[in-house]
Amino acid sequence: MPAMSHDTEADAVEAAFGQRVQVLYQTLGTNLVVSPNAERTAIEAFRKGLEIARRTRELALRAIEETPAASAATARMAARNAVPPRKAARARKSRA
């Protein structure tokens, strides 16, 4: 799997944010239909969800900016090529 660039990662975060806003919108609409007398509660839940989604997006984008792309790619490659501890122990036993 090729390493993602910062731009690609940021695009993925923005897409996830957009999906979350869609879910919040749909939930608001459903809540207004199901409980029309609870409009204030439905709007408060929407606003709180939107605040959390915005903060999550902000933190994720900041983390992407602060993470060197090369080290993330290197970590993925190392994890992919790492020998699980059990296999390493078996390999040592078979060599002995």
Q: Which amino acid, one-letter code, is at 54? A: R
1 inside domain: no
Q: Is residue 21 part of a domain?
A: yes
Binned at pLDDT 50, 70 and 90, residue 6 comes out as: confident
> How does pLDDT run across 65-85, given as a tens digit for each residue?
998 865 556 566 666 766 666
How many CB atoms are located within 10 Å of the residue 70 CB?
Answer: 9
| C-beta of residue 61 within 8 angstroms of C-beta of residue 10 | yes
Q: How many domains in the chain?
A: 1
Q: Which domain holds residue 21?
A: 6-95
Which one has a higher pLDDT value, 80 or 25?
25
For residue 72, the model assigns a pLDDT of 55
pLDDT of amino acid 14: 97
Whole-model pTM: value is 0.64
Per-residue pLDDT of 31-51, as tens digits, reads: 999 999 999 999 999 999 999
Residue 28 lies in a domain: yes
- The verdict on residue 30 lying in a domain is yes
DSSP code, position 70: H
